[in-house]
Amino acid sequence: MERKTKINAEDGKQELLITREFDLPLELLFKAYEDPEIVEQWMGTKVLKLENKKHGGYQFETTDPMGNKHRFGGVIHEFNSNQKIIRTFEMENTPFGVQLEFLEFEKLTDDTSKLNMHVVFKSVELRNQLLKLPFAQGINMAHNRIQEILSNHNHDSK
């Protein structure tokens, strides 16, 4: 089966491309980015602010399993319904800096659509760090699990 979400991150470039085809009409895909209530549902975040217009801002907030709140957001540069959104993105209080995001919404058929997300970073290093983040978290989780299993095992054998 062909993978629906594709990531293209060329070596030595400070950008990445995320593309995805949806079994949704273009209007519904765009609405998922426009309507704060719907954004909350699929992003799993609280929407503090979402001003869908040029010079508007947006701010979302998530709560991690430890109860810590994390905020992220940015400024909207362009907002064309069913076509494109250009915005900045920043995770507050993290070293990742500001990213520039170009979101293009494309109609494929009456019932299918495509999202092209072009993300530009301040440097190649920052891009690579962000790409590795889920991988690093996965490795840490695997290590924690192994340690847990080993410590339970030691406990049992005593």
Partner 1 sequence: MDLRRDVFQAIADPTRRAIITLLALNAMTPTAIAEHFHSSRQTISKHIQILTECQLLEQEQNGREIHYHFNAKKMKEIADFIEPFRNLWDDRFNKLEAVMKKYRSKK
Q: Measured from the CB of residue 126, what is the shortest distance to partner 1 in angstroms? A: 14
The three-class DSSP label of residue 117 is: strand
Torsion sign, CA atoms 121, 30, 41, 6: negative
State which of positions 111-130 bind partner 1 (CB under 8 A).
Answer: 115, 130
Interface pick for partner 1 out of 139, 148, 152, 153 (rule CB under 8 A): 139
Report the residue number, 4 or 55, with the smaller CB distance to partner 1. Answer: 4
Give the integer Cα–Cα distance in Å for 105 and 86. 11
Asked if residue 132 binds partner 1 (CB under 8 A), the reply is yes
The footprint of partner 1 on this chain (CB under 8 A) covers a number of residues equal to 34
Q: How is 67-106 classified by DSSP, letter by letter? A: S-EEEEEEEEEEEETTTEEEEEEEETTSTT-EEEEEEEEE
Give the integer Cα–Cα distance in Å for 42 and 24. 15
* Backbone torsion region of residue 102, taken as left when φ is above 0, otherwise alpha when ψ lies between -120 and 50, otherwise beta: beta
Asked if residue 13 binds partner 1 (CB under 8 A), the reply is no
Instruction: Yes or no: say if 97 and 122 are a contact pair by the CB < 8 Å rule.
Output: yes
Select the span of 28-36, 67-75, 92-100, 148-156 touching partner 1 (CB under 8 A).
28-36
Interface pick for partner 1 out of 14, 15, 17, 24 (rule CB under 8 A): 24
Q: Measured from the CB of residue 88, what is the shortest distance to partner 1 in angstroms? A: 19
Report the residue number, 28 or 54, with the smaller CB distance to partner 1. Answer: 28
Report the residue number, 43 or 108, with the smaller CB distance to partner 1. Answer: 43
First to last CA, the chain: 48
Residues in contact with partner 1 by CB under 8 A are 3-7, 9, 18, 20, 22-24, 28-29, 31-32, 38, 41-44, 115, 130-140, 143, 147
